[in-house]
Amino acid sequence: MIDVGDSASDLQAFGCIEGAGGLALAIAKDETYGHEDQMLQSQRVESLATPDRSEGGELPRSLIHAAEVKSARIALKALGRGK
């Protein structure tokens, strides 16, 4: 699971997603997320991307990398089971 959020209301979801083995990504506003002071350690995100959705922008690249990480984890677990 991959979660993308852009506000303080996403902090609890970040903690749940990370706790369940997923990845949380935050969208930065003006180069910062702006809610770092409200984050618990369990709510820290994997990546902070700018909201640039253009081809080659930080957000699409972050999503691609996150999907590759999750895919690699799934493949690694399958190898560990002899598949």
26-49: average pLDDT: 68
List the domain range (segments joined by +) for residue 39: 2-80
Say how many domains are in the chain.
Answer: 1
pLDDT confidence of residue 54: 92
CB 70 within 8 Å of CB 2: yes
34-44: average pLDDT: 61
Kindly list the distances between the CA atom of residue 60 and the CA atoms of 17, 27, 37, 65, 80, in Å, as whole numbers in the listed order: 19, 11, 26, 9, 30
Kindly list the distances between the CA atom of residue 4 and the CA atoms of 10, 26, 44, 56, 67, in Å, as whole numbers in the listed order: 8, 6, 12, 18, 12
pLDDT confidence of residue 50: 85
pLDDT confidence of residue 40: 59
- Is pLDDT of 45 > 80? no
Kindly list the distances between the CA atom of residue 2 and the CA atoms of 29, 55, 79, 80, in Å, as whole numbers in the listed order: 20, 20, 22, 23
